[in-house]
Amino acid sequence: MRLIDIAREAYMLNLKKAFANRIELFTKLFGYPARLFMVYFLWLSVLENRAFPDLEKSYILGYYTVSLFLVQMYPFIRKSREVREQIFSGEIANYLARNIPFGVVNLMEYAATISVYLLSVTPVAYILLGIVAKVLPGLTLLLMFLFLAFLGSVLRFAVWYVIGLLTFYTHENMGIITFYLTLENVLSGSLLPLRVFPEQFQKVFNILPFRLMIYTPVDVLFNGTTVSQFLINVFLQIFWLALVLALAAVIWKGGLKKFTACGV
């Protein structure tokens, strides 16, 4: 019960902060279409030169409408840096002294932030999807997409949280952030739709967890899916999420030993 109370209190506190931060809310609300139109113009130029003859204009415009919506859902890099600062500065000692679960508080901050984002930006994304790509998915397909997108986002958060925890061992995580960000941009489909890559590459992508973060939910929205394939994707997302969370627990436990050994 205490854990639930802490989680609820942390969520409500961060929800108030997210609504109160009008500048960031304004930036997300108007920054999304601004970035989107820059991508639109870039891809219109690429498609005119027939760089990707197999891709339809409506698919590309729709793909980036949704993928960018998912990519900017939460400041994952900033969270990783915040975790690093809290460890490096010794701030986590406050959590340890008060027996407050550090991971739960961070998870609730994430949940509160994306709650505000979804409430404010989802209508804009849906309208743009209908106008630009002329795609208005049915309720069942939309629910499948939202569920996969949610699990994919939580998986992203867990990975970036782990990168923050690595500060226990590396002190500085910018190098890891840069390396991982490059991997995620390419392998998740946020930079390019994975279908443009050769088949040999796609077989590798199917083994890795990155496609489950961005590409799989977006692909389901545009190309549909069967119930069995949907359940397989959900299972894979939960499997990788459990694996990352287990890794986070191991890193946290080992990191605390180093943290306390330093006399903090």
DSSP class of residue 197 equals S
| Mean pLDDT on 56-79 | 88
Number of H helices, E strands in the chain: 12, 0
Question: Can you give 128-191 as a three-state secondary structure string?
Answer: HHHHHHCCCCCHHHHHHHHHHHHHHHHHHHHHHHHHHHCHHHHCCCHHHHHHHHHHHHHHCCCC
Asked if the model's pLDDT at residue 16 lies above 90, the reply is no
| Measured distance CA(246)–CA(253) in Å, rounded | 11
CA-to-CA distance for 57 and 67, rounded, in angstroms? 15
Express each pLDDT in 85-128 by its tens digit: 999 888 998 888 888 899 999 999 999 999 988 888 888 888 88
Range with top average pLDDT, 20-24, 42-46, 201-205, 228-232: 228-232
Q: How open is the CA angle 214-215-219, to the nearest 5 degrees? A: 125
pLDDT surpasses 90 at 132: no
Q: Does residue 46 carry a pLDDT above 90?
A: no
Residues 149-181: pLDDT tens digits?
A: 999 999 999 999 999 999 888 878 888 999 999
pLDDT at 261: 45
- When pLDDT is cut at 50, 70 and 90, the band that residue 49 belongs to is low
| Of 28-37, 137-146, 164-173, 204-213, the least confident | 28-37
| pLDDT 10s digits, 201-259 | 888 898 999 999 999 999 999 888 999 999 999 999 999 999 999 999 999 999 888 76
For the chain, helix, strand, coil in percent to 5 are 80, 0, 20
Supply 68's token pair: 């960018």
Specify the pLDDT at position 44. Answer: 72
Domain positions in the chain are 2-261
Q: How far is C-alpha 188 from the chain's CA centre?
A: 10
The answer to whether 74 and 113 are in contact (CB under 8 A) is: yes
> Please, what is the average pLDDT of the chain?
86
pLDDT at residue 159, as a whole number: 97
Q: At a CB cut-off of 8 Å and minimum separation 6, what does 87 contact? A: 164, 165, 167, 168, 255, 259
Span between the terminal Cα atoms of the chain, in Å = 29
